[in-house]
Chains A and B, each alone.
Chain A
């Protein structure tokens, strides 16, 4: 029973991990840009959430809305002011640029907020639970999983149904052809980065409600995001979702068996997947189920 509970909690955590990966994976899928500062922006979003949460009406969890808006604007600014200037065939400049941004952001947060561990207070909700098939589960983790699922579904629908979503997919396929149709791909890139940052920011705030964070948490967050994207199969939406689940379950089961292990077993599972299937879960699915 304790294992069932652990796995259920792993699934809850995994949904959140998937959401952390979604921002990074979306930016990579559309722009081939890997924002190395994503982990530190996730932590920055958690700090914004920490200060806004007491002012939010109805329920503190709704703080994700203003934080997402702020992150969207920061994402547009980041892309327009910095990343768009170093775009090119060579990926190294943009990676180094965002790495520099990450260092500045992390140390600015340490200087501004101190290195103490913090958590966003969601009031009584944190301690509420419910029974499902005889196991006791938390309300907050379940709500967080639902939010993650909704965001995955909403992004999927929006990309496939809306005009702007179509434009983003077209830009991802061939930005030069999009340019020929009279659309500035740089503007599309800025919007895409805004969305990626908003998704990551929501994930960061939710993570800070479930557990705690310090200004140094960015590195771990980035590694999780990166593993989710690679396990999923670089750009596969639902691959990422199951990749997150796998990491979440692994981490909680491993912590039960070896409490001091941290993220180590998650990292090891990542390498096992990489050895077994270089293009992640999506690649394995194509090979085994669809036999392509």
Chain B
């Protein structure tokens, strides 16, 4: 590992082993109802992390991430119902499907920048939602049930879904860590920070960004499929709901954009708030919005950003120091 990063690779590796072990053993000790809640928490965390990856690591902010949640879910439900295949077998292909969709959209949406890029994906999400709502073979507005799981053992379904959700969490924490330590991760952050300079040192800006976009959208799609498989029913109004975007942004902004730890904190706060304010409907959404505004004004780097600067803790820190700065720091000490 390069000596120029602020991270502790051994600590992260140990943490990865411990987390994996805990997740593998969890279904043996946790009740089925709690397992379902954990699936929801894990998949929502993955939604948020996929958006965080795009906004904070690739530098592409999207307002239409719900597009991929819905697409992934519809892919698995439709193909499984039509061909009679096991949805669990199809789940990895929801990644391929959504990544492929993103790859086809990229040449067009990449023509727009910043907010215009963000909203153009939202427009695609609306087109897909309206399209599905009018097609009887896709269940129109009332949506599709998942036929294949009807005959299966409930606890088997819950456990298998849980393992998929757990795999998504591991990918979106430790996979993201590994990616940001790699050459590609370095290229991604260079493109995010300054396109011109990145191009000048020989990085292919368009393809780097393209790769990041496709990867982030694919993960969101697979998480969407896992989420809807654990509720056994998908309908266009819910799957393509822009409120998914509200949840993702809240989690990422509160926690801290562009950090791995931030969305973990954000997800915890989100589910606690949701538990407390259950049944208050709009008040709860208003609070999410207001919290986002306050954080942007007071601490744009989110809770983890504040913790990191205040206490100097940087667990997954993959920020790199230049050799010169390194020497400077040693000299000061």
Q: Contact residues of A with B, CB < 8 Å? A: 34, 36, 82, 85-86, 91-93, 95-97, 99-104, 107-108, 110-111, 219, 222-223, 226-227, 229-230, 234, 258, 260-264, 267-268, 270-271, 274-275, 278
Task: Name which residue of chain A comes closest to B123, CB basis.
Answer: A267
**B146 surroundings in chain A (CB, below 8 A):** none
CB contact under 8 A between A34 and B116, given known A108-B286, A260-B134, A267-B126 = yes
Assess the A104–B286 pair: CB atoms within 8 A: yes
| Interface residue SS majority, chain A | helix
Assess the B116–A82 pair: CB atoms within 8 A: no
CB contact under 8 A between A107 and B115, given known A95-B61, A267-B126 = no
Task: Name which residue of chain B comes closest to A258, CB basis.
Answer: B134
For the complex, is B30 an interface residue (Cβ under 8 Å from A)?
no
**A108 surroundings in chain B (CB, below 8 A):** 282, 286
Assess the B108–A100 pair: CB atoms within 8 A: no
**B127 surroundings in chain A (CB, below 8 A):** 264, 267-268, 271
Which of A34, A100, A261 gathers most chain B CB within 10 Å? A100
For the complex, is B249 an interface residue (Cβ under 8 Å from A)?
yes
**B257 surroundings in chain A (CB, below 8 A):** 92
Q: 24 interchain pairs (CB within 8 A)?
A: A86-B296, A91-B114, A97-B297, A99-B63, A100-B253, A100-B293, A103-B285, A103-B289, A108-B282, A111-B281, A219-B242, A222-B119, A223-B119, A223-B122, A223-B126, A229-B116, A230-B112, A262-B130, A264-B126, A267-B126, A274-B108, A274-B120, A275-B108, A278-B111
Chain B, 232-263, CB within 8 A of any chain A CB: 242, 246, 249, 253, 257
Which of A36, A93, A226, A229 gathers most chain B CB within 10 Å? A226
Assess the A102–B118 pair: CB atoms within 8 A: no
Assess the B253–A96 pair: CB atoms within 8 A: yes
For the complex, is B292 an interface residue (Cβ under 8 Å from A)?
yes
**A219 surroundings in chain B (CB, below 8 A):** 242
Assess the A99–B249 pair: CB atoms within 8 A: yes
**A274 surroundings in chain B (CB, below 8 A):** 108, 111-112, 120
Q: Contact residues of B with A, CB < 8 Å? A: 55, 61, 63, 108, 111-112, 114-116, 118-120, 122-124, 126-127, 130-131, 133-134, 242, 246, 249, 253, 257, 281-283, 285-286, 288-293, 296-297, 300
Assess the A103–B116 pair: CB atoms within 8 A: no
Give A34 to B283 CA distance when docked, in angstroms. Answer: 26
Task: Name which residue of chain B comes closest to A81, CB basis.
Answer: B297
**B108 surroundings in chain A (CB, below 8 A):** 271, 274-275
Assess the B296–A100 pair: CB atoms within 8 A: yes
Assess the B289–A264 pair: CB atoms within 8 A: no
Assess the B285–A223 pair: CB atoms within 8 A: no
Contact of A96 among B122, B288, B296 (CB under 8 A): B296
Task: Name which residue of chain B comes closest to A105, CB basis.
Answer: B289
Assess the A111–B296 pair: CB atoms within 8 A: no
Assess the A227–B123 pair: CB atoms within 8 A: yes
Assess the A226–B116 pair: CB atoms within 8 A: yes
**B292 surroundings in chain A (CB, below 8 A):** 96-97, 99-100, 103
**A34 surroundings in chain B (CB, below 8 A):** 114-116
Assess the A230–B116 pair: CB atoms within 8 A: yes
CB contact under 8 A between A100 and B130, given known A91-B114, A92-B257, A95-B118 = no
Assess the A103–B123 pair: CB atoms within 8 A: no
**A111 surroundings in chain B (CB, below 8 A):** 281-283, 286
Shortest distance from the beta carbon of B117 to any chain A beta carbon, whole Å: 10
Shortest distance from the beta carbon of A210 to any chain B beta carbon, whole Å: 21
Task: Name which residue of chain B comes closest to A225, CB basis.
Answer: B119
Assess the A102–B296 pair: CB atoms within 8 A: no
Give A108 to B25 CA distance when docked, in angstroms. Answer: 44
Q: A93-B296, A278-B111 are in contact. List 6 more A-B contacts (CB 8 A).
A: A34-B114, A95-B115, A97-B297, A103-B288, A103-B292, A258-B134
Shortest distance from the beta carbon of A229 to any chain B beta carbon, whole Å: 8
Assess the A271–B123 pair: CB atoms within 8 A: yes
Assess the B289–A100 pair: CB atoms within 8 A: yes
Task: Name which residue of chain B comes closest to A223, CB basis.
Answer: B123
Shortest distance from the beta carbon of A240 to any chain B beta carbon, whole Å: 14
Contact of A263 among B115, B130, B291 (CB under 8 A): B130
Give A226 to B288 CA distance when docked, in angstroms. Answer: 25
Assess the A85–B297 pair: CB atoms within 8 A: yes
**A103 surroundings in chain B (CB, below 8 A):** 246, 285-286, 288-289, 292
Shortest distance from the beta carbon of A247 to any chain B beta carbon, whole Å: 12
Give A262 to B90 CA distance when docked, in angstroms. Answer: 32
Contact of A110 among B123, B282, B288 (CB under 8 A): B282
**A91 surroundings in chain B (CB, below 8 A):** 114-115
Give A34 to B123 CA distance when docked, in angstroms. Answer: 16
Give A278 to B296 CA distance when docked, in angstroms. Answer: 32
Assess the A264–B293 pair: CB atoms within 8 A: no
**A275 surroundings in chain B (CB, below 8 A):** 108
Shortest distance from the beta carbon of B171 to any chain A beta carbon, whole Å: 25
CB contact under 8 A between A264 and B116, given known A100-B289, A223-B123, A275-B108 = no
Lowest 3 A-B CB distances belong to which pairs? A103-B289, A34-B115, A100-B292
